Amino acid sequence: MKRFLVIETLDQLKAISDSLRMEMITQLVKEEYTGKQLASLLSLSPSKVHYHLKELESNGFIEVVRTEEKNGIVQKFFRAVAYDFKVSDALLPSLQEDTMLLQEVMLNHLRTSITRLYNAPEESFLQFAEPQKRPPAIAISSQVKAPREEIRKWLKKYQALLDELGEMDTRYEAQIEAGEIEDTEEIFYLVSVGFMSNERYYVADDDSLPDDYEHSPSEFKHLTDKVVVSRKKKGDAENGN
């Protein structure tokens, strides 16, 4: 499988701007399936799945990787041709008013994340174990009220950190290939989705914890990253500290 596929036509763009087709491609990135297997996996009718497979195949997103005869019927096994889609700059004039493509990309990231979250080993979530036994993990949902320009500046900093992760991945892959270090067979999976909205969900009249509790110590000022809070010592609770 290749990494990149470049979307070059409006027909391709329309074909991929569909949540079901994105989900089908996600499954076909992981492994090969027949139409019947995919229909069972997605709890859909075979005829509906076959229709969408045909559209995806005709637009170059998937291909038949092998066939197998069973009870006189030739079964086709499909696989995605790539897992990272890019859009040709020739389509930019047509994308200026488009909203569906980015929405579908974001939704697909979230759907894939849910699947991977459930499939991850239990050891990935030992967040209450001794510090040295805790695996790297983060879970956060936040809303920030700030001008767009400030958000853009922050995003550049965040993207620079993500670039560091990419450099880390490249460095360790090279060391593993050279036999310098052992492959632990572990990866850190991270998904990021952020967008501007006019709905403010998290609004509280009182941001404090109950009187006898306090946030656990944290190196962060505004990020309450600790799930567990601490009960105040008796003297502190009585004094309102």
- Tokens at 175, concatenated: 């060391």
- 3-class secondary-structure state, position 84: strand
- Residue 115 confidence (pLDDT) above 60: yes
Whether residue 237 has pLDDT greater than 60: no
- Span 68-114, pLDDT tens digits: 998 888 999 999 999 888 889 888 887 888 888 888 888 888 888 99
CB atoms < 10 A from the CB of 86, how many?
Answer: 12
% of the chain residues with pLDDT over 70: 94
DSSP 96-131: TT--HHHHHHHHHHHHHHHHHHHHS-GGGG-TTS-G
Q: Residue 232: what pLDDT?
A: 84
Q: What is the pLDDT of residues 167-216, one digit of tens each?
A: 999 999 999 999 999 999 999 999 999 999 998 887 778 878 888 888 77
Q: Which tokens go with 123?
A: 């050891």
Using CA atoms, how far apart are residues 154 and 158, in angstroms rounded to an integer? Answer: 6
State the pLDDT at residue 239.
Answer: 56
Higher pLDDT, 225 or 94: 94
* Mean pLDDT value across residues 7-31: 90
SS3 8: coil
Q: For the chain, what is the radius of gyration of the CA atoms?
A: 24
Inter-CA distances, 190 with 19, 114, 144, 183, Å: 21, 12, 20, 20
What is the rounded distance in angstroms from the CA atom of residue 182 to the CA atom of residue 176? 6
